[in-house]
Amino acid sequence: MSAEITNCGTVGWVSDRQGYRYVNRDPLTDQPWPLMPVTLYEFACEAASRAGFEGFSPDICLINRYRIASKMGLHQDRDERDFAQPIVSVSLGLSANFLFGGERRNSSTQSILLEHGDVLVWGGPLRKYFHGISKIYPGDDPLTGPYRVNLTFRRAL
Ligand code: MD6
Ligand code: FE
């Protein structure tokens, strides 16, 4: 993974030598994570509800920033407690190829173009499917410059 990551919400997802996990404080500042803006919280709840996941209440928004050369290898999102809760993903800035696989790392994948403003709601039987980012399309976005920003709203605890 070569994206830069941060979080807002009551917990944040971090990756370091000890592995991947949710923690209460930003390890770079030792401060609590910034609050999740209410407008974003409500947006994510509404998106989940329109996709058929009523009652979603995210406690964290993971923020990934990708440079043009960044990739994210195939992975599962499995550090959350309740896999009945979906993930709401919002793409901003440069476009990306999102690889969408299956239950196993070697399952075949399809590539989905994610562009600025796209919202992906991901849940149900697909919740633990492997997925990744294979390419960021070069460009200079008016809002994000030479980056793609992805927000994923989750219920971690
Ligand atoms: C990304 N997203 O779009 C990476 N995970 O930059 C993810 O890894 C992801 O978009 C779970 C659900 C939706 C996602
Ligand atoms: Fe993921």
Which CATH fold would you assign to the domain 4-154? Jelly Rolls (2.60.120)
- Flag whether pLDDT at 1 surpasses 70: no
Contact by Cβ (8 Å): 95, 138: no
Q: Evaluate the CA torsion angle 125, 78, 97, 37 in order and state its sign.
A: positive
Which is the closest atom of ligand 1 to the Cα of 3? Answer: 6
**Residues surrounding ion ligand 2 at CB below 5 Å:** 77
CA distance 70 to 3: 6
Task: Convert the pLDDT of each residue in 113-148 to its tens digit.
Answer: 999 999 999 999 999 999 999 999 999 999 999 999
**Candidate from 2, 77, 155 with most ligand 1 atoms within 8 A of CB, to mutate:** 77
What average pLDDT does range 90-102 have in this prediction?
A: 98
Delimit the domains of the chain by residue range: 4-154
Task: Convert the pLDDT of each residue in 7-20 to its tens digit.
Answer: 999 999 999 889 99
| pTM of the complete model | 0.96
Report pLDDT for 110: 97
**pLDDT grade for 2, boundaries at 50, 70 and 90:** confident
In sequence order, what are the residues at sequence separation of 6 or more whose Cβ sits closer than 8 angstroms to the Cβ of residue 38? Answer: none
Of 141, 152, 143, which is closest to residue 68 (Cα–Cα)? 141
Task: Convert the pLDDT of each residue in 64-89 to its tens digit.
Answer: 999 999 999 999 999 999 999 999 99
What average pLDDT does range 33-38 have in this prediction?
A: 98
CA distance 73 to 92: 20
Which is the closest atom of ligand 1 to the Cα of 148? Answer: 6
Which is the closest atom of ligand 1 to the Cα of 132? Answer: 8
Residue 11 token pair: 């917990």
